Structure 1
Amino acid sequence: MDPSAEDTARIEAAVFRRLRDHLVRVRPDVQNIDLMILAGFCRNCLADWYSEAAAEHGVALDKDQARAIVYGEPFDQWKARHQREATPEQLAAFEDARRRHG
Structure 2
Amino acid sequence: MKISELDTKTQTELESAVLRKLIAHLDQRKDVQNIDLMNLAGFCRNCLSKWLVAAAEEKNIALEYEDARERIYGMPYEEWKNKHQKPATPEQLAEFDKKKI
**Corresponding residue for residue 69 of structure 1:** 71
SS of 2:32's equivalent in the other structure is: coil
Distance 1:77 1:96 in 2: 30
Tell me if 1:52 matches 2:64. Answer: no
How far residue 58 of structure 1 moved from its aligned partner, in angstroms, is 2.1
**Corresponding residue for residue 23 of structure 2:** 20
Distance 2:59 2:13 in 1: 16
Letter in 1 for 2:25: H
Alignment size in residue pairs: 98
Q: Normalization by structure 1: what TM-score?
A: 0.92
CA-to-aligned-CA distance 1:27-56 (integer Å, 9 cap, x gap): 011100110000000000000000010111
Identity %: 50
SS of 2:91's equivalent in the other structure is: helix
- Counterpart pick for 2:97 among 78, 95, 98: 95
Distance 1:69 1:62 in 2: 11
Distance 1:45 1:18 in 2: 16
**Corresponding residue for residue 5 of structure 1:** 8
Distance 1:36 1:98 in 2: 10
Q: Normalization by structure 2: what TM-score?
A: 0.93
Tell me if 1:43 matches 2:36. Answer: no
- Counterpart pick for 1:82 among 73, 81, 84: 84
CA RMSD in angstroms, aligned pairs only: 0.8
Letter in 2 for 1:77: E
